[in-house]
Chain A
Amino acid sequence: MTLTDIFFYIATGVTGLFAICVFILLICYLTIYERVNKNFRAVKK
């Protein structure tokens, strides 16, 4: 197994992890966006 092949497996794992993060963050973004637009009010004077 060459260095490139070893690195390929590591890169696949890291990329998969980042892709999962993107998915979770996208859901979180949509949730925060929805909540802020629905409920957030400026500071009461």
Chain B
Amino acid sequence: MISQSLMIFTLVSIWFSMGWALVPLFSSVHFWLKRSDFKVNTDPLPYYPKVTIVVPAHNEDVVIAQTATAILNLNYPVDRVELLLFADNCNDNTYEEMQKVKALPQFAGRNITLINRKGTGGKAGVLNDALKMATGEYICVYDADAMPEQNALYFLIKEVLKDPERHVAAFGRNKTRNATQNFLTRCINQEIVVTQRVQHVGMWHLFKIGRIPGTNFIINTDYVKSIGGWRNGALTEDTDISFKIMESGKLIALAYNSEAFQQEPETVRTYMMQRKRWAKGNYEVVISNFKNLFNRSNWRVKLEVFYYSCTYFWFNAAIILSDLIFFANIVAMVRHLFDPAVTLPFAFDPSNVYIAQLLLFNWLVMILIYLLQITISQASQFGQATIHQVGIALISYFTYTQLFIIISIVSVWSVTMDKLLRRDGTKWVKTKRFAG
């Protein structure tokens, strides 16, 4: 009875997570059905607000020159752009690379400020320093590895100008610049395409919920000042400020045409470190916002906290439990070969002969939904939905996606130990960059 109850709990939990995944998926499908058959226009805007573009760089000499050049080539009036390049506590040639770009003849007369920073606070610290210096009406943030497409800023501004009072921020999408490097980057690319073309689009289209992605976004300067800036030392300062914006009833608008090319980890070790930092940061934000589920907070905050809580605690626990059940049965089957008295510890009532077939079919249907989610997100951009990508999606189901289980276990353990031992869990770990 207990073993059956455990199996039912894990299956029902997984169905809930699948059911929830279908909500933004159907919403995004509706969005793309309406927007997949017209041409995008880049007609001049009625007004070009001044924008301060901030690039926080910590030991980024491999990529900073390319990024700075791409930013300076943006399709936006040059006299309405101020560029602040921060070399934050660097011990490589990041600052020298920045100087080389500034000295290029084609950028003579451009409003570029280089800051060789030695302060604390990580990326949030840099952004708060930039907030004090910014003269633009909006602050735009690009990570050192994020190379914006020419019209990226134009589309972000276009989105906030639709309703400047409510749209205090706008965010675009990030494409993987090294997607074809190896199997890992191909998988990350698929994950990012799904996140941005399905989840971000679906949540915005249905609930007007946006999440600042850390790079390729703009935010109203006066508004950030009014909420006290970024929280110094936050592991995921983007999630943190997203909650603050939603709490105030303002919106983070999606500019789905604004694109930046970002470099993703090329080794499993780098990937794991990055994701552990993200997961820990998100746990931190969820725990600190958990109280909002039960008070008079904005409904968007409640929905986000509920979603994050379910994902990070309930759904993750269910998946880990289902894996334990699976391995316990495998061990029992192997032991059964040597000792016929050993039976499966987790099994349904043998009188129902169809349940195994039904659950196998259920699993196959869920895999099909997973594949359709990926193929739909890729179909929304020309030339991306290919048989090759379906093959990668299928292989990653059994390999790459399983890494999330390890990441969630490690992160929960690390967050718990941080709390118990009063460790400084917010120490910034930078994602390693790769040349090319």
Contact = CB atoms under 8 A, between A and B. Distances in A.
B372 A7 contact: no
A2 B151 CA distance: 62
B29 A32 contact: yes
A37 B384 CA distance: 10
A8 B372 contact: no
Given A25-B25, A36-B380, A18 B365 contact: yes
Nearest to A44: B42
Given A5-B349, A11-B362, A39 B379 contact: no
B36 A36 contact: yes
A3 B373 CA distance: 33
B8 A7 contact: yes
B372 A25 contact: yes
Nearest to B359: A11
Which size class do B's interface residues fall under? 35 or more
Given A4-B351, A25-B372, A32-B376, A41 B39 contact: yes
B398 interface: no
A16 to B, nearest CB: 9
Interface string B9-40: 00100010010001001100100110011111
A38 B25 contact: no
Given A3-B1, A14-B15, A32-B376, A19 B36 contact: no
A5 B257 CA distance: 50
A39 B32 CA distance: 13
A22 B372 CA distance: 8
Contacts of A35: 33, 36-37
Nearest to B358: A11
Contact of A2 (B351, B359, B373): B351
B321 interface: no
B29 A40 contact: no
Main secondary structure on A side of the interface with B: helix
B136 to A, nearest CB: 24
Contacts of A37: 382
Contacts of A14: 15, 362
A32 B362 contact: no
B116 interface: no
A9 B398 CA distance: 29
Contacts of A3: 1, 4-5, 8, 349
A32 B365 contact: no
B351 to A, nearest CB: 7
Nearest to A25: B372
A22 B348 contact: no
A40 B372 contact: no
A29 B33 CA distance: 9
Given A14-B362, A15-B365, A18-B369, A43 B257 contact: yes
A39 to B, nearest CB: 4
B313 interface: no
B151 A43 contact: yes
Q: Which 10 A-B pairs have the closest CB atoms?
A: A4-B349, A33-B379, A35-B36, A39-B37, A4-B348, A15-B362, A25-B372, A18-B365, A28-B29, A35-B37
15 contacts: A8-B355, A11-B359, A18-B18, A18-B362, A25-B376, A29-B375, A32-B32, A32-B379, A36-B36, A36-B379, A39-B38, A43-B42, A43-B257, A44-B42, A45-B150
Interface of A: 2-5, 7-8, 11-12, 14-15, 18-19, 21-22, 25-26, 28-29, 31-33, 35-45
Given A7-B4, A32-B380, 11 more contacts: A3-B5, A7-B355, A8-B352, A11-B355, A29-B375, A32-B29, A35-B36, A39-B37, A39-B39, A40-B36, A44-B39
